[in-house]
Structure 1
Amino acid sequence: MLRTCRHLSLTAAVLLLLLAPPAALADERAAGSAGQVIDRNFPDPDVLDHDGQYYAYATNTAGYNVQLATATDAEGPWEQRADALPQLPPWVGPSHTGSLNVWAPDVSERSDGTFLLYYTAHHTGSGRQCIGAAVAGSPTGPFEPTSAEPLICAPGQGDVIDPASFVDDDGSRYLLYKDSRGSRARSGPSTIHMRPVAADGITPAGKDVPLLGADRPEESGVVEAPTLLRRPQGYVLLYSGNTFDSGDYFTNFATAPSPTGPFTKAPGALLSREVLGGAVTNPGGQDVFDDGELIAFHGDLAEPPGDRGMWVAELSWDGLNPVLR
């Protein structure tokens, strides 16, 4: 059940955003607002709401393998914490650019009270991006890798990135990820996949299932950053489309009667530069938290070029359709 939504205060950090809704939802989407809550490089945010505290994890930068910031309110202030994953497993090494490429972390609580971290990193053996896992007894970590080898890897085929956890109402657990052969460095459109896993979030419990492909011109061959939600009416899969630095990066959603689909994409976009009145460029890498009432996403910072901060906006729901408040 959704909690009563808190209204984000209209401070200087809050941007008023005019929505340009897709036709099918035009009557439901009106003016909305989003606040920039982290104004430094904090890409691909994942937010965990646990025991009255918010924990935000992000892609590596500034010497952190997995960035971690905490706050008691989604508006902040957000406090930088120690590296959530200070020790990397032996399969991780620098790419041709010298970076470890530890991207898009996802943290969830397991049924035994421990916490599971999924992350993407550069696999030295294949030269590809692969997915790893780590565990800790606290959301702050330090998380320790579960294996000396990747959890998911596709040598010779393409990168696998953007892991995300989902636990259904019956306790069934799934791992979602993106096959990134649709990126600029690969050929063919990308696909979002789902892997059934055991309660530990690591052991496979069934065959991987493709959920969503990049089949629209505005996606430019890329769908990524999956976020799967259970609603009373069915399932909602949020995703980002296009390339993250294109200027046309956006967030949209698709709906389905079951977690394995078939998923139907909504028209238009939930978040885009145009939808947000030009206030945020390349909004994506999203996560939904606080019982579905808040959405966090990254967007371009004015300075330095290439850095991405974190924004938070309120959500309401019209059945399976998320609506910016």
Structure 2
Amino acid sequence: MTAAGLALLSPPKARARPGAARLVIDRDFPDPSIVEFNGGHYAHATNSGGRNVQVARADGLRGPWQPPADALPSAELPKWVGPDARGRLNIWAPHVSRRTDGTFLLYYTAFHPGDGHQCLGAAVAGTPAGPFTPTGPQPLVCGSGRGDVIDPAAFVDSDGLRYLLYKDSRGGPSTIRLLPVNQDGVTPRGRETVLLRATRPEEAGVVEAPTLVRRPEGYVLFYSANTFASGNYFTNYATASTLTGPYTKAPGAFLSTRTLGGGITDPGGQDVSESGSHIVFHGDLVEPGGPRGTYLAELGWNGSRPKLLG
């Protein structure tokens, strides 16, 4: 990484990639989530560099992005969070959204040593910068003997009702589920629904990282598929006329090494800006399994079908 990249989290010209996407955070900043507040943009990412939940700020999505702080320092972690069997404390795939009371809700994934699985947690703060404090002593949703739950994301529909989306790998190929919750974002108010299943060979049994967008024509569910460090990871989308589906997957891949001009490997972990005009996602900076930087691409829309611009 260059000195310029460390100082501003903005890529030097030598790191420019071909195609429709640009590298905007030139460091390990995977699973980016973006939210707007007080005229600025905040990006949150999976733990790296000693920070449990990375948070960086910029005036615009193209940056320059400030050096990251920790939005969920260890002193704020609930007691159920602990190291995994390898002794690693990982806080994965955060997602931040604004609640009706003006506070911000952070969803995250962490290991529950007492349960032996990955679980979903929640925390709140007055600003996206944090520090966030836990909403309760227990996780929201937990894995079971058959698998884990990861990749939580919030969605608020046009009628103001709030939902929690997440990946469920409990028992067979993974699914993406939708759980209705109250305005606090943590209290269930109904039964969950399976929105999507891993059904295609190229998905390798994995659909994850849900991002749900409401368009005038219906609902668009972005998701990542395959294994994140396989060299074959990609992002696609599915559409539905109603919130609970059925969802129809678009053919092929929306973000892949090929669709992005050949310069980005394993594009995924995406989020869409509040206006729907941009998509952020991570991609390998060097090789699969290594640091993943954050990329930005401009979105256009043909009804409920997104398209890459540029």
| TM-score band w.r.t. shorter chain | over 0.9
Which amino acid is 1:278 matched to? G
**Is this contact kept in 2: 1:13–1:35, CA < 8 A?**
no
**Mapped pair 1:93 → 2:88:** no
Aligned residues: percent identity?
Answer: 62
CA shift, 1:11, in A, is 5.6
Count of residues paired in the alignment = 296
Deviations 1:218-260 (A, max 9, x none): 0000000000000000000000000000111000000001111
Structure 1 SS opposite 2:18: strand
Residue in structure 2 matched with residue 104 of structure 1 by the alignment: 93
Is the contact between residue 251 and residue 269 of structure 1 (CA under 8 Å) also seen in structure 2?
yes
Structure 1 Cα separation of the partners of residues 238 and 259 of structure 2:
17
- The residue correspondences of 1:286-301 to structure 2 (distance < 5 A) are 286-301=270-285
Output the amino acid matched with 2:55.
Answer: L
Once residues 16 and 187 of structure 2 are traced to their aligned partners in structure 1, the CA distance between those partners, rounded to angstroms, is: 42
Q: Distance in 1 between matches of 2:281 and 2:293?
A: 8
2:47 to 36, 60, 69: 60
1:224 corresponds to: 208
Give the corresponding residue for 2:117: 128
After the TM superposition, which residues 115-264 of structure 1 pair with which residues of structure 2 at under 5 Å, given as runs? 115-181=104-170, 188-264=172-248
2:17 to 15, 18, 21: 15
Distance 1:113 1:200 in 2: 11
Q: Which residue of 1 aligns with 2:4?
A: none
Name the counterpart of 2:61. Answer: 74
Stretches of structure 1 lacking an aligned partner (at least 5 in a row)? 1-9, 18-32, 182-186
The one-letter code matched in structure 1 to 2:217 is: Q
Question: How far is 1:119 from its partner?
Answer: 0.3
CA-to-aligned-CA distance 1:91-114 (integer Å, 9 cap, x gap): 010001221221000000000000
Unpaired runs of 5+ in structure 2?
A: 1-11
Structure-1 separation of matches of 2:69 and 2:270: 23
Could you tell me how far apart the structure 1 residues matched to 2:66 and 2:285 are? 19
Q: Deviations over 1:269-295 (max 9, x none)?
A: 110012112110000000000400000
Q: Judge conservation of contact 2:198–2:207 (CA < 8 Å) in 1.
A: yes
Would the aligned equivalents of 2:238 and 2:248 in 1 still touch at CA under 8 Å?
yes
Question: What's 2:27 paired with?
Answer: 40
Q: Which amino acid aligns with 2:48?
A: T
In the alignment, the residues of structure 1 paired with residue 16 and residue 160 of structure 2 have an alpha-carbon distance, to the nearest angstrom, of 37
Task: Name the TM-score, length of structure 2 as normaliser.
Answer: 0.92
Match of 1:50 among 28, 33, 37: 37
Cα distance in 1 for partners of 2:23, 2:226 equals 22
Equivalent-residue separation in structure 1 for 2:143 and 2:291 (angstroms): 29
* Superposition RMSD in Å: 1.5
